[in-house]
Amino acid sequence: MILPAVVLTLRRGKTLVTEHMASATVTKFDRISRKRVDKFNERRIALAEAALLTLSDLGYARTSLREIAQNSEFSHGVLHYYFADKVDLITCCVRLYKSRCVTRYDGVIAAATDYPSLLEGFLDALAATLREEAHLHRLWYDLRSQALFESAFRADVAEIETSLEAMIWRVMSRFAAVTGKPAAMSPALAYAIFDGLFQQSLLKHLSGNPDAIPTLRDGARHVLDHIFTA
């Protein structure tokens, strides 16, 4: 005869084993789900990489998922599977590109030990990104303009703007550190100044104006000299 206490213990043990098996099953499914999500996101990034060139050439208004498919190795159906529409795809593309942009000046900041080396390093990097990545920058400005009309873009544009503002403020903070002079302005104002200079020079550069890059360098130098050496 099995005593009641033993029966109770066995039942409890069975319950614990069952609960453990259920927990293990949930954990396994969680791992599988996360793996699938990771693979899905990796595929989205790969497709966005492939679509960037077409998007940067044609811009928002002239680009459709079908147009992107025709200019890449991916079918229209594949793009539709991974992206709800072109808004989803374009946002993914721009976020991908800008996530790399925001670290562009970090190497310059880390290497510079005085004002002249920091200034020249920053101006060189600023000029290089205008010269080498103008078509990608214009996609960003296209998206930002569309956000005035398309509410679907606004949250992503605001998030990207915040990251770019932080990027410029890291540069300004480094200038303040090497000169011992504070940047007497807000991060938002500093970003607005350099963004304005860059956008004006981008338009000149895309129009074939040979003075676009020198003008950008001169303008940025003037602003920084006025803040940190005047």
Over residues 117-167, the pLDDT tens digits come to 999 999 999 999 999 999 889 888 988 998 999 888 898 889 889 999 999
CA 36 to chain centre: 23
Query: Does 45 share its domain with 157?
Result: no
Q: Which of 99, 69, 98 is closest to 81 using CA atoms?
A: 69
**38 exposure class (CB count in 10 Å sphere: 0-12, 13-18, 19+):** exposed
CB-based burial, 60-74: b 16+ in 10 Å, e otherwise = beebebebbbebbeb
- Which of 10-19, 84-93, 124-133 has the weakest average pLDDT? 10-19
Q: Which of 88, 102, 100, 92 is closest to 52 using CA atoms?
A: 92
Global pTM exceeds 0.85:
no
Whether 44 and 82 have beta carbons less than 8 Å apart is answered as: yes
Query: Does 45 share its domain with 139?
Result: no
Query: Does 40 share its domain with 141?
Result: no
Q: Which of 91, 107, 11 is closest to 44 using CA atoms?
A: 91
For residue 178, is it within any domain?
Answer: yes
Instruction: Count how many domains the chain has.
Output: 2
Query: Does 75 share its domain with 115?
Result: no
Does 93 or 114 have the greater pLDDT score?
A: 114
Query: Does 47 share its domain with 157?
Result: no
For residue 90, is it within any domain?
Answer: no
Range 20-28 average pLDDT: 56
Query: Does 65 share its domain with 145?
Result: no
Distance CA 138, CA 97 (A): 12
Does 78 or 35 have the greater pLDDT score?
A: 78
For residue 93, is it within any domain?
Answer: no
For residue 91, is it within any domain?
Answer: no
Distance CA 230, CA 224 (A): 9
pLDDT at residue 2, as a whole number: 45
For residue 27, is it within any domain?
Answer: yes
Query: Does 111 share its domain with 222?
Result: yes
For residue 96, is it within any domain?
Answer: no
Counting residues of the chain whose pLDDT is more than 70, the rounded percentage is 85
57-73 per-position pLDDT tens digit: 777 777 777 877 777 77
For residue 163, count other CB atoms closer than 10 A to its CB. 14
Query: Does 217 share its domain with 118?
Result: yes
Distance CA 132, CA 64 (A): 25
Query: Does 118 share its domain with 182?
Result: yes
pLDDT at residue 57, as a whole number: 79
Query: Does 129 share its domain with 74?
Result: no
How sure is the predictor about 22, in pLDDT bands with cuts at 50, 70 and 90?
low
Range of the domain at 66: 4-82
Does 143 or 195 have the greater pLDDT score?
A: 195
Distance CA 206, CA 201 (A): 9
